[in-house]
Every structure is written in C-alpha cells, then in structure tokens.
C-alpha cells in the first residue's frame, strides 16, 4: 500500500473515533444555545491536552510509529475539536445579546486551551523521562 494511502487511512480511523467521542460528549453535556457552551469548551480543551501530550511524546521518542501523528493529532484531535462550532456559538450568543457570555467563552477557550496544551506537553515530558 502506498504511503499516502496509509496516511489517509490513519487520518480516517482517528477522525472516526474523534467524531464519535465528540458526539457523545455533546450528548452528555447538552449545552443550551442560550447558555455557556460547555460542550464545545470541553471537546476543545480535551483535544488541546491530547495534542500537547502526544506531540511531546512523539518528539522525545527516537522512532515513533508513523501512524501516531496522522491518527491521533490530525484525525482524532481534528475531529474532536471544533473551531467552527466555537465561532458559531459565539455568533449565536452575540445575536441573542449575550455578549458577556460570548466574550467569556472566547477568553476561557483560549486561556484554558493553551494551558491544556502546556499541561499535556509537561506530562508528556515526564512520561518520556
């Protein structure tokens, strides 16, 4: 099998699993369009943490499996996280005159998301020591 075909299969498998997890998280949390979008925040933070963790581990391992990056980072985390839904949530909140919630959601997503990447990165470094 050609290298590009394998890459696409890995991305597809990761994307399939990430999509299912995202759906389950959204069904479990079920944020209202009028409230803080906890569902979107949750998937974005979990995805950011996983990206930091896995990227850190990949960097430290001398010969990581070629399937890890496309499966986990591109496929799984790409399908799990959602910048487009975040933008839709902010737009909806603003159209409902919930500007304060929209701004808080945006700031919390950025700050906690970056913190999750850094925490995942540090944990990855500890794991690979």
Mean pLDDT of the chain: 93
Looking at residue 102, what is its pLDDT?
Answer: 95
CA nearest to 89, candidates 36, 45, 126, 51:
36
Q: Please report, rounded to a whole number, the percentage of residues in the chain having pLDDT higher than 90.
A: 82
**Where does the pLDDT of residue 1 fall: very low under 50, low under 70, confident under 90, or very high at 90 and above?**
low
pLDDT, one tens digit per residue, over 86-95 is: 999 999 999 9
- Report pTM: 0.90
pLDDT at 3 over 90: no
Looking at residue 116, what is its pLDDT?
Answer: 98
**Where does the pLDDT of residue 101 fall: very low under 50, low under 70, confident under 90, or very high at 90 and above?**
very high
Answer yes or no: are the C-beta atoms of 17 and 50 closer than 8 Å: no
Integer-rounded Cα Rg, in Å, for the chain is 16
pLDDT at 30 over 80: yes
């Amino acid at each position: 099998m050609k290298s590009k075909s394998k890459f696409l299969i890995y991305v597809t498998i990761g994307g399939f699993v990430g999509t299912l997890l995202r759906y389950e998280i959204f069904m479990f949390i079920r944020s209202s369009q009028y409230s803080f979008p906890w569902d979107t925040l949750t998937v974005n933070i979990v995805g950011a943490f996983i990206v930091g963790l896995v990227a850190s581990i990949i960097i430290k391992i001398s010969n990581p499996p070629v399937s890890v990056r496309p499966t986990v980072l591109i496929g799984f985390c790409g399908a799990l996280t959602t910048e487009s839904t975040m933008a839709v949530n902010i737009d909806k909140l603003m159209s409902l005159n919930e500007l304060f919630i929209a701004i808080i959601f945006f700031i919390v997503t950025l700050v906690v998301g970056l913190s999750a990447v850094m925490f995942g990165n540090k944990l990855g470094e500890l794991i690979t020591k």
